[in-house]
């Protein structure tokens, strides 16, 4: 079933054991193959689709402002993807992240 291909967009990304994730509170990490930003927060692991919810540009993490900002029309989002301001109609889209498979790995389903 195509949705469950591993390691390519539209499939499942194995992020390794939870202990290998970037530390809680660290800067989001871009996963270009999976087309998501990996965000590790107290409340869990998020995989945010890299495409802005406005007109499809690629937004960027801005560490100094502690938020994502889209260069096209200036939409801004919190680290967890929540909409802050700008023309985007909603918060960033999230992929499903399963915390553990049978081998103890964290999986993101793109
Ligand atoms: Fe991101 Fe317009 S495409 S703000």
How far apart are the CA of 69 and the centre of ligand 1, in A? 9
pLDDT tens for residues 14-72? Answer: 999 988 999 999 999 999 999 999 999 998 999 999 999 999 999 999 999 999 999 99
- The count of other CB atoms within 10 Å of the CB of residue 65 is 10
Q: Ligand 1: which residue has its CA nearest to atom 4?
A: 73
**Which pLDDT does position 71 carry in this prediction?**
98
Q: Is the model's pLDDT at 1 over the cut of 50?
A: no
76 close to 52: Cβ distance less than 8 angstroms: no
**Which pLDDT does position 63 carry in this prediction?**
97
10 or 53: which carries more pLDDT confidence? 53
In this prediction the ipTM stands at 0.99
Q: Which two tokens stand for residue 41?
A: 């927060």
Q: Is the CB of 69 under 6 A from ligand 1?
A: no
- In angstroms, the Cα distances linking 66 to 34, 62, 81, 84 are 23, 6, 12, 12
Residues paired with residue 47 on neighbouring β-strands, in sequence order: 38, 95
How far apart are the CA of 78 and the centre of ligand 1, in A? 15
Residues paired with residue 45 on neighbouring β-strands, in sequence order: 40
């Amino acid at each position: 079933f195509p949705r469950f291909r591993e390691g390519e967009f539209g499939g499942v990304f194995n992020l390794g054991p939870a202990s290998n994730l970037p530390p809680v509170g660290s800067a989001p990490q871009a996963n270009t193959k999976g087309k998501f930003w990996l965000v590790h927060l107290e409340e869990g692991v998020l995989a945010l689709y890299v495409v802005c919810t406005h007109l499809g540009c690629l937004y960027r993490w801005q560490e100094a402002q502690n938020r994502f900002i889209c260069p096209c029309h200036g939409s801004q989002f919190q680290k967890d993807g929540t909409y802050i301001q700008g023309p985007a109609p909603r918060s960033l889209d999230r992929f499903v992240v399963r915390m553990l498979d049978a081998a103890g790995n964290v999986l993101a389903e793109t």
